[in-house]
Amino acid sequence: MEGFRSVRFTCKQVQQNITYRWFLGISPHQKVPCHSTISKFLHHRISDAFVWETLFRHVVKLIEEDGYISHDIWIADETELKANANKRKRTVVVSE
């Protein structure tokens, strides 16, 4: 959810942030598991795509049941436009 790039980075964030420790049930005095331990667990225990797909569908179903998913249609235009935000370029306006 936070967009962490890797297990190593995630473990570092858990070590540094008490909120993550609280969420995971790790007290401030406990050691955070090593990134390689978590990687091995993910690779050996949850490497099957079916497990992830099932988990994803289950979470989406729970979110939908709580009313956080709308079936309304939304359309967005994501055209990229060049910004005109050069602060060094000044325009002098003289009014009489």
Give pLDDT tens digits for 58-90.
Answer: 999 999 999 888 888 878 888 887 777 666 766
d(CA 78, CA 81): 9
Average pLDDT, the chain: 82
Given this model, what pLDDT does residue 62 score? Answer: 93
d(CA 12, CA 38): 12
CB-CB contact of 67 with 32 (8 Å): no
pTM here?
Answer: 0.43
Q: Quick one: how far is CA 92 from the chain centroid?
A: 45
